[in-house]
Every structure is written in C-alpha cells, then in structure tokens.
Chain A
Amino acid sequence: MSQLTSLFTRSTRRKVASAAVATIALTGLLAGCASGDTDSGSGSSADSGGSTEDLRFIYIAALINDSFFVTQRCGAEDKARELGIDLAFQGPTTNDAAAEIKAFSAAAATGPDGMIVAPFTNAGWGGSVKPLMQDGVPVVATGQTLEPADAMATYITDYLESAEPLVDIIGELTEGEGTVGLIATSTGNKTDSDRYTELVPALEEEYPDLTILDPEYAENSSATASTIASALITGNPDLKVIYATSGPQAVGAASAIKAAGAGDRVKLVSFDSNPEQIELLKSGELAATVGQSPYEAASLAVQTIYDYLSENGSDEAVPASDEITPTPTLLLTPDNVESDEAATFQYMTECEGD
C-alpha cells in the first residue's frame, strides 16, 4: 500500500497536473479556432444581398418542459424544416429568468444567423439583444415583449383582448357577486402578471359587487396551488371562482376543489391550454380557459427572420421595432373543446420528428 502512495509523490502529481492543463488549453484553442472558422463562414461581408444557404437559428424559450413552449418548438421546427433552416431549441428547465438570459447569451456567442426568444419576463434583455441586432443578427420575441424594445418583431397574445371573454365568463359564473380568488405564478414576471393586471380592473368596473382577492403566488407548483386553493375555500365562504394563471396551478386548484367537494360552489377558470387543462375541461372541473397560439407565434417568428435575411442579408444593423403583432387566442370551454377550431389552440407535448 505504501508503495502505491509513494507513486503519487509530489513530482508525479505535478507532472500529471501540467499534462492535464496542457490538454485542456490545447482543446480550448482548437475549439476557439473551429468556432472562429464558423464565424468567418456565416454572416461574413463577402455575402451581400442575402444568401440564405445553411441558415442557423437558435430559439431560446423560458421553460422548455412546459407544453406551451413545446408547442412553440413544434411551430418553429415545422417552419424551419419547410424552409431548410437549422434550428436549435434551448432553455432552462425551471422558472428562472436569469438562467434564461444566460442561456441566450451563451447561444448568441456561437454566432447564429437569427435568434428567437420567448422570454420568461421582459426585463433584463438590454445588453443581450442590441449587440446582435447591430451585428446583423435579427432577434424576434414571442410570447412577451422585451424591455427595452430591441427586437425586430414581437408576436404575442394580446392579453387585454384575450382577457375580455374571461371577464364575461367570470361574471356569468358569479352572477356578479361573491369573491374571486387569484392564483398567479410569481412576482416580477410580466408574462404572468399580464394575465390578470388588466382583467382585474375590468372585472371591478363591470361587476362592482364582486370582491377580487389579491393574488397568491404558487411558483407553478401544483402542490402549492392546491394548498392556496384549499385555504381560499376555507377562508372565503362566498368564494365563487378561482382564476389560475397557468396549467400546473389550475391542476392544483382543481384537485383542492374536488377534495373539498366544492365543485358546485366554486368554479375554476384558467389561462393556457396544456393537456391536463384540456382533460379538466372535458371532465367539467375547469369551466373555461384561454388558449393561446404558440405554434402560430413561433412559426411566424421563423418566417419573419427568414424573409428579412432573404431581402437584406446580414451586413447592416437590423432595425428594431416596438410594434406588437398579436396572435389569436380562444376561450376554450367544455362545449367547444372537442371542436376543430379548438384543436389549434391546444398545446402539444411532443412534435413531429421527436
């Protein structure tokens, strides 16, 4: 045993360490050279006036395991396949704004021709997007706007418009009186808060006898949402409606309502239309939900960048625009959930070619 340990004398260890460092340095150098070659290959000034050969786009989404974003991926991938574009789809696996921004910067450093981002929240993108646009790399936002408005185009749901049917539904379910509970995701998240910040004043205006509670935050955890919902039911005897702003939160709230046997008294509405929410609609545990069209938004995003590059190439800085192009939404209910129209607003869990 002691012979073995004496093998690892200081001089031996030092030699091994320097060999390791040298290998790593060499590998890094080669990798740098390689990406350098790619850089000079694509987007070089030799190509003026728009060669669209071998385009590479990267799509960064806020939560790649959420069916909403998976649906975006399907839309983006189908369109990319159609146009012959190499598309990579990446992003964090938990609700983490900072992680998404880091992922975006890391992806940008690999020198893609175009980037699409579905931000978790709109703040914090200042330093990341502008340099790309200056370099002739178009950036398009889906699902949420960017602050500052550095992107070339933005495709999002018009939350105000999509919330209007919710106002009517909630009014119907409560008959204008009682209490409405609100289960949101987290603070500092515009994608989440947009789903209720304009809804609430609208409700208050149209149904002044309604009491609308302050939002509780469930961080997209169904267990937390269940705890919140069951407490809301206990603490508010005249609770009529719970509005959950996302799929997992709707699932949690539905479970709590069912456990309390309060399905007749307390109704559930939500935003988004993931497969679990579709099931809840079909079983009647969910009264209504707003389905977005992420497939549409992502598909449009890919097309827009492609069209731009075809026309203008990547020599000049890309002009930013704060114009918002709304994508359609539909209020899904147990009545229309089986219809063809509703089918395009339901989220997918896997795409063709998975």
Chain B
Amino acid sequence: MSTVTKTRHDETVSTRKPSAIKRLLTNNTFWIFAVDIVLIVFFTIVSIDNSFFGPSNLRNLMSDSATALLLGVAIAFLLGAGEFDISLGANLILSSVVAGRIAVELAPYGLAVIIVGSLAGALVTGMVIGLFNGLIVTRMNVNSLIATLASLGIVTGVAFIVSSGTDVTGIPPVLQDGVGLNTVFGIPLPFLVAIVIWGLAWAALKYTRFGLHVLAMGSSRTAADRAGLRTKAKITTLFTICGGLAGVAGFIDITRFAATNIAGHTQDSLSAITAAVIGGTLLAGGVISILGLLGGVILAVILANGLIVIGVSSYYQLIIVGAILIIAVWLDHFKKGEKSLRLFTR
C-alpha cells in the first residue's frame, strides 16, 4: 500500500500501475471500438471496390449517425443521473413540426433567417418539453419511466394538433441544400453539429462540476442530497437541457428531408438507450461513457449500412444485428471478469 503524502500535479500516487496492455484490455470503450473496427474492416473487404470505406459512404455513415448521437448524449446523461426518458422521439417530432411551421412562414426571408428562426423554435420546444418532464419527475415525484411514457403520449398529441394531423408541407428546400445536405470540408453539416455537441458533452462530463453532480445523483441520490446538492433543481435542469438536444435533432431532421415524419421515430428512444448502454453507460446510473456512446452509435450505423451494402437479405439482417448485440455485451462482461488485473490489490 502506498502512502498519500506529497501533493502532486496529478491526483494518483501509486507505485504499481498495470501495463498499458492490461489497462487497454479492461477498458470498456476499447472493446466496443474493437468490434467497430473489425466490422469496418470486414465490410470494406467484402464490399465491391471496397466502396464501404469510400468517401461517399463515409459521408452516408456520418449523416446517418447525427440524430443518434444527439439523442444518445441526452439519454446517456439522463441514465447517468438515474433517470429514464422514452419521450425523446416524440420530442423530436414536435420540435421538428414547430421548426417546420416556422420555416414555412419564414421562407421568403432567406436561408439565414430560416435557419435562425426554425432552429430557435426547435430548441425552445425541446427545452419546454424537457422542463415539463423534469417538473413532473421532481415536483410530482413520478418515476421518470412512467412520467416520460405519459409525456410521450401528450407530446405526440400536441404534435398532431400543431401540424393539423399530417406532416408539415412547404418547408423550403433551401434548408436542405444549405444545411441538411451541405458539407464542410467534405463532412456533412448535421454530423458536424452532432459531433461538436458530443465533444462538449464529453468535456462537461470530465471537467465540470455539473457533470460530476450528474454522476453523483445517479450513483446515490441519497449521498447527493446529504452532500447538500440541490438535486431537484439539477434534475429539472438536466431534463431541460436534454430536451433541448432532442429539439436540435428535430431541426436537423427537417433540414435533411425538408419534411417532417410524424409517423416515424418510433424506435429513436430505444436505439439511443441501446447505443448508450452498449457503450458503457450504466442503466442504473452513476457511470456515463460519452466515448463509448460514440462507439455504440458507430456500431448501429455500420450495421444498418454495411449489411445492405454487401447485399445481405433483410431477414438475415435482423438475426445478425441481434447476434452482434449479444457479442458486444458479452465482451463487456468478459472485461469485467478481469477485475484482478485492476489497480489495487491489498
């Protein structure tokens, strides 16, 4: 046992660090990215002209992952704080409907105005929904799974009222050309937005007090309360922020298609949770892996795209996706068994 006596620039003073290899193998995110790399190599080799890894398809993969990344960040933080949210898909829909309506009204005023107006509308809508969720959970003390299940219905209903029942028509195509299908240095703009937000989330979790408190509340709500954290206010704030992320996803959605899709997005919440959990975020709270989330999203996107690129029949796609899911989770388990490789033996 080493003694903690001197102050140093880093906080760990330990004389026995395991080898780099061992640390790598027991790291959760390593495994998910390992699976990703194996699949990428596989699909690249099997696809005609290695087109899977060509610039065009890489752009496809990036575009495909934008929404999942945004919702994934939202749900990872909520899960980490010990809460659930299955209303994210409905939030996305209502936000996209509001953004769409605004875009239609602002169509004559040029791209910049359209973007600012509809993005603001989507963001505000998303945050209001998030705030609504947060208040039900903290003021009315309703379990977040039930609360967001209820708000899922309410929000969907409101979306129909706002859109008069069908998808919003007349969204200016310039939104698609200017944002949704636009690229910056060859990188699709929606993906850039998502990855920047992802990066900010990673930094917030690692470096800020807010991120730490999210983890504390999920690890032990009692401990957080006793330590003097205003947990109710923080949870409400968290729901609001995450709602805002779903709102941004709704805005991105209408820029990609110049249309809303009210009948869609049914699996969005579940896909986000799956990506987060595969990536190492604990369902029970207390541990968030934003890096792992990226690995999980990449996995989902690679599978959805790659299996079609190499021509696997859609029936087999379902089987294969299920099998890979099991393998990814099993590998995670396998890593946990290696606890003996860990840092501290006494």
Contacts and interface: CB of A to CB of B under 8 A. Distances in A.
A154 interface: no
Contacts of A93: 156, 160, 262-263
B253 interface: yes
Interface in B328-344: none
Interface of B: 47-49, 51-52, 54, 56-57, 59-60, 63-64, 67, 156, 160, 163-167, 169-170, 173, 176, 180-181, 188, 253, 256-259, 261-266, 301, 304-306, 308-311, 313-314
B304 A220 contact: no
A237 interface: yes
9 contacts: A65-B163, A93-B160, A219-B264, A220-B264, A223-B67, A235-B309, A260-B59, A274-B166, A276-B258
Given A63-B263, A220-B264, A234 B166 contact: no
A94 interface: yes
A20 to B, nearest CB: 19
Interface in A123-145: none
Contacts of A231: 57, 60, 304-306, 308-309
A234 B57 contact: yes
B60 A230 contact: yes
Contact of B309 (A217, A234, A276, A283): A234
B314 A222 contact: no
A112 B49 CA distance: 62
A217 B314 contact: yes
Contacts of B169: 275-276, 279, 349
A226 B256 contact: yes
**Candidate in A64, A232, A258 with the most chain B CB atoms within 10 angstroms:** A258
A231 B308 CA distance: 6
Contacts of B262: 65, 93
Given A220-B264, A259-B63, A354-B164, A234 B259 contact: no
Interface string A317-354: 00000000000000000000000000000000110001
A234 B47 contact: yes
Task: Please list the 9 inter-chain residue pairs (A to B) with the smallest Cβ-Cβ separation, ordered nearest first.
Answer: A221-B264, A235-B309, A231-B308, A230-B60, A275-B169, A349-B166, A234-B57, A222-B261, A231-B305
B169 to A, nearest CB: 4
Interface in A251-296: 251-252, 255-256, 258-260, 274-276, 279, 283
A222 B257 contact: yes
Nearest to A218: B264
Given A70-B166, A251-B257, A94 B263 contact: yes
**Candidate in B57, B63, B257 with the most chain A CB atoms within 10 angstroms:** B257
A223 B164 contact: no
A67 B314 contact: no
Contacts of A258: 176, 181
Contacts of B51: 234-235, 237
A66 B263 CA distance: 8
B59 A255 contact: no
Given A66-B263, A255-B176, A230 B57 contact: yes
A178 interface: no
B173 A223 contact: no
Contacts of A349: 164-167, 169
Contacts of B258: 251, 255, 276, 279
Given A232-B308, A275-B167, 11 more contacts: A64-B165, A65-B167, A219-B266, A221-B263, A221-B266, A226-B64, A231-B57, A234-B47, A251-B259, A276-B167, A354-B164
A248 interface: yes
B308 A237 contact: no
Contacts of B261: 220-223, 248, 251
Interface in A184-210: none
Contact of B264 (A70, A216, A232, A248): A248
